[in-house]
Amino acid sequence: MTPFARIVAVVAGIASLLLAGAALVRQAALATDNGVTWRGSAWWADLTSRSSTGTIVAAAVAAALTVILIVFAYRQVSPASTPQIIEFAVEDGTARLSVPALRKALGRRFQTMLPGSQVNEIAVSRRDEGWSVRVEADLPVCDLQDVHAAVLEAFRDDMRRVAGIELLRLDIVVTSMRAAARKVS
């Protein structure tokens, strides 16, 4: 979320809390004593009783603020799109690496390192702190710590050698773990 989006969300949240607090106080005062009347403000009556330029402007501002907050909320909860091309500097210019091709190569490397595994999905993403890889796979019974350390080291070496990318994080999600197959004689 960008700093501007955070500021808009905080301002809208504070304004909403103030309006909700005022409505709560009004309702509490009206509920406490039947003799209490709380007439609406003159500007509110003017705003809602007849159409005017002020009514149109207020409605447009409220609609625009609503749309902006919906867009910010969607961007906050929707997954970030990963780059499909990684461009990096080489000696005489630049080179490009396709992210789908990198995922395919990492999947083959994973299955080669761990026979009997089946990779279901690989995600390569770039965050503020660096690159990360997430592997979802079916694995044979193994020591996950050893597998994680070996795969992380291999992926780091491969990504550094191929594209000069520094891999900071590797997540291995085991979707199923099964015993290694035995030969029947």
Structural domains of the chain, with CATH: 3-77 (no CATH), 85-178 (3.30.300.20)
**At which residue do the structure tokens 């291999």 appear?**
154
Provide the pLDDT for residue 26.
77
State how far the alpha carbon of 179 is from the alpha carbons of 12, 117, 143, 176, 184, in Å.
55, 11, 12, 10, 15
The Cα–Cα gap between 159 and 177 comes to: 27
Provide the pLDDT for residue 183.
54
Contact yes or no for 173/135 (Cβ under 8 A): yes
Q: What is the CA radius of gyration of the chain?
A: 29
pTM for the whole structure = 0.51
Provide the pLDDT for residue 76.
73
Q: Please tell me whether residue 21 adopts helix, strand or coil conformation.
A: helix
pLDDT (tens, 9 = 90+) of the chain, 185 residues, equals 677 777 877 888 888 888 888 888 877 877 787 777 767 666 666 666 777 787 788 788 888 988 888 887 787 777 666 557 777 667 788 778 888 888 899 999 999 999 889 999 999 888 777 789 999 999 998 888 999 999 999 999 988 888 778 889 999 999 988 876 555 55
Provide the pLDDT for residue 134.
94
Provide the pLDDT for residue 4.
78
Contact yes or no for 137/173 (Cβ under 8 A): yes
Provide the pLDDT for residue 78.
72
Own/partner contacts of 149-157, CB < 8 Å, gap of 24 or more, are 150/113, 151/110, 151/113, 151/114, 154/109, 154/113, 155/106, 155/109
